[in-house]
């Protein structure tokens, strides 16, 4: 394979696609130096990836699907679009992504530690889905939901970083954040109050409902020009309701939502406490007129990005699971 890749690069190809699927679940190893002044698009699938992409000065599009990522840093000053789907990293490291020219980002079904995002001043759209396979979950969630004082909790320990994801995403104008509620990254990052000064459309799922919608209030307070909000409340596991009822955060707390927020859509499987509390919080405490809040029932209990939804098919399936089969 190395000989073929060398040959293609000598021919100054602009698009390189490698699919290492052998039909037996194994991946091919791709660790050769990759140097090209012409390669613009790199698509890899079923590949163990440890390439230094900084040696690709005109690379603008990188897509990794079902790959193993065995590098501590992904650095590129030319990259504009990055998609990482159902990929795995070394459990002991947190991959640092430095791509200051990035405009579009997809992180979906990351297995291992959630990547650390450096500042992305040109970012426009970001789709993040953290679920089954993530190691950034709180071991003490059932005891202290939304707050973990235990230094021994490996899942909540993220090092000396003030932010893992949200500071790097703060320049986006369209943002979708989906996560299993036990994964603590979003809540932890919100403690540092990142300002989403350009954000106009936002999609969240039930992680923001823990502790009486504390996550929702926290992020709305940091979105001064938000115009459209979508909430997905599908899962109805008992632990969610138990922790909301025992919350120390009162549902009556006041906050100021964006004056530009004209449309709130709450997608639900059935009307439950989260749906009614969210409606009450937004209309009463958030100052959002009730006629601007749309309740939308859906048959599907899967958490979809907006681009995955099919208006004619509510059973659209995302590419990664939030919940383990035994969860």
Note whether residue 63 is domain-resident: yes
> Distance (Å, rounded) from C-alpha 150 to C-alpha 107?
28
pLDDT (tens digit, 9 = 90+) per residue, 69-78?
999 999 999 9
> Distance (Å, rounded) from C-alpha 22 to C-alpha 238?
42
User: Any residues with CB less than 8 A from the CB of 207 and at least 6 apart, and which?
Assistant: 177, 178, 179, 180, 181, 183, 186, 187, 215
Phi, psi angles (nearest 5°) of residue 290: -60, -30
Note whether residue 247 is domain-resident: no
Contact 74, 100 (CB under 8 A): no
Q: Is the pLDDT of residue 79 over 80?
A: yes
Q: Is the pLDDT of residue 102 over 70?
A: yes
Nearest to 323 by CA among 234, 247, 262: 234
**DSSP per residue, 158-221:** -TT-S-SSHHHHTT-SEEEEEE-TTB-HHHHHHTT----TT--EEEEEGGGGHHHHHHHHHHHT
Lowest mean pLDDT among 11-15, 116-120, 160-164, 278-282: 160-164
Total number of domains constituting the chain: 2
Instruction: Note down the domain range covering 67.
Output: 1-71
Q: Is the pLDDT of residue 300 over 80?
A: no
pLDDT, mean of residues 87-116: 92
The pTM score is 0.86
> Distance (Å, rounded) from C-alpha 46 to C-alpha 264?
39
Same domain, 57 and 90: no
pLDDT (tens digit, 9 = 90+) per residue, 57-69?
999 999 999 999 9
Same domain, 237 and 207: yes
What does the pLDDT read at residue 225?
95
Contact 160, 185 (CB under 8 A): no
pLDDT (tens digit, 9 = 90+) per residue, 187-224?
889 988 999 999 999 999 988 887 667 889 899 999 99
What's the gap between Cα 216 and its chain centre? 15
Burial of 192 (0-12, 13-18, 19+ CB in 10 A): exposed
Q: Is the pLDDT of residue 260 over 70?
A: yes
Phi, psi angles (nearest 5°) of residue 122: -100, 5
Could you tell me the CA-to-CA distances from 220 to 102, 104, 112, 259, 323 in Å, in that order?
24, 22, 29, 11, 26
Same domain, 65 and 99: no
Q: Is the pLDDT of residue 153 over 90?
A: no
Burial of 153 (0-12, 13-18, 19+ CB in 10 A): middle
What does the pLDDT read at residue 250?
46
Last residue within a domain, chosen from 51, 71, 91 = 71
Same domain, 47 and 121: no
What does the pLDDT read at residue 96?
95
Predicted confidence band of residue 172 (pLDDT cuts 50, 70, 90) = very high
Same domain, 262 and 114: yes
Map residue 279 onto helix, strand or coil.
helix
Same domain, 269 and 121: yes
Burial of 233 (0-12, 13-18, 19+ CB in 10 A): buried
Q: Is the pLDDT of residue 25 over 80?
A: no
Last residue within a domain, chosen from 71, 98, 115 = 71
Lowest mean pLDDT among 13-17, 153-157, 237-241: 237-241
Same domain, 96 and 180: yes
Nearest to 29 by CA among 41, 7, 44: 44
| Averaged pLDDT of the chain | 82
What does the pLDDT read at residue 312?
42
Phi, psi angles (nearest 5°) of residue 239: -65, -30
Q: Is 47 left (phi over 0), alpha (psi -120 to 50) or beta?
A: beta
Q: Is the pLDDT of residue 244 over 50?
A: no
Residues in the chain: 327
- What percent of the chain has pLDDT above 70? 77
Same domain, 152 and 185: yes
Last residue within a domain, chosen from 21, 48, 71 = 71
Nearest to 107 by CA among 77, 142, 136: 136
Same domain, 204 and 105: yes
Contact 138, 182 (CB under 8 A): yes
Q: Which one has a higher pLDDT value, 38 or 151?
A: 38
Map residue 62 onto helix, strand or coil.
strand
Lowest mean pLDDT among 49-58, 124-133, 162-171, 309-318: 309-318
Map residue 22 onto helix, strand or coil.
coil
What does the pLDDT read at residue 159?
61
Contact 315, 286 (CB under 8 A): no
């Amino acid at each position: 394979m190395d000989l073929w890749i060398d040959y293609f690069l000598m021919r100054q190809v602009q698009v390189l696609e490698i699919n290492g699927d052998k039909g037996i679940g194994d991946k091919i190893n791709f660790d050769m130096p990759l140097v090209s002044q012409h390669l613009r698009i790199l698509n890899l699938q079923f590949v163990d990836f440890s390439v230094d992409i900084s040696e690709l000065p005109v690379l603008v599009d990188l897509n990794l699907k079902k790959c193993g990522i065995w590098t501590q840093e992904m650095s590129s000053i030319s990259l504009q679009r990055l998609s990482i789907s159902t990929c795995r990293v070394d459990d002991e490291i947190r991959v640092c992504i430095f791509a200051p020219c990035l405009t579009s980002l997809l992180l979906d079904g990351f297995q291992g530690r959630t990547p650390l995002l450096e500042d992305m001043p040109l970012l426009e759209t970001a789709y993040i889905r953290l679920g089954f396979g993530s190691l950034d979950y709180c071991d003490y969630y059932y005891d202290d939901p939304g707050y973990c004082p235990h230094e021994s909790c490996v899942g909540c320990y993220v090092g000396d970083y003030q932010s893992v994801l949200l500071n790097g995403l703060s320049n986006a104008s369209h943002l979708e954040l989906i996560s299993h509620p036990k994964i603590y990254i979003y809540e932890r990052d919100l403690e540092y109050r990142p300002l989403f000064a350009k954000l106009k459309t936002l999609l969240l799922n039930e992680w923001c409902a823990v502790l009486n919608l504390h996550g929702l209030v926290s992020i709305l307070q940091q979105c001064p020009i938000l115009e459209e909000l979508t909430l997905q409340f599908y899962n109805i596991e008992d632990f969610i309701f138990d922790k909301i009822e025992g919350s120390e955060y009162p549902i009556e707390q006041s906050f100021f939502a964006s004056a530009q927020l004209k449309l709130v859509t709450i997608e639900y499987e059935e009307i439950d406490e989260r749906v009614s509390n969210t409606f009450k919080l937004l209309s009463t405490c958030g100052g959002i007129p009730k006629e601007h809040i749309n309740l939308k029932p859906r048959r599907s209990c899967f958490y979809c990005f907006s681009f995955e939804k099919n208006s004619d098919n509510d059973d659209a399936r995302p590419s990664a699971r939030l919940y383990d089969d035994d969860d």
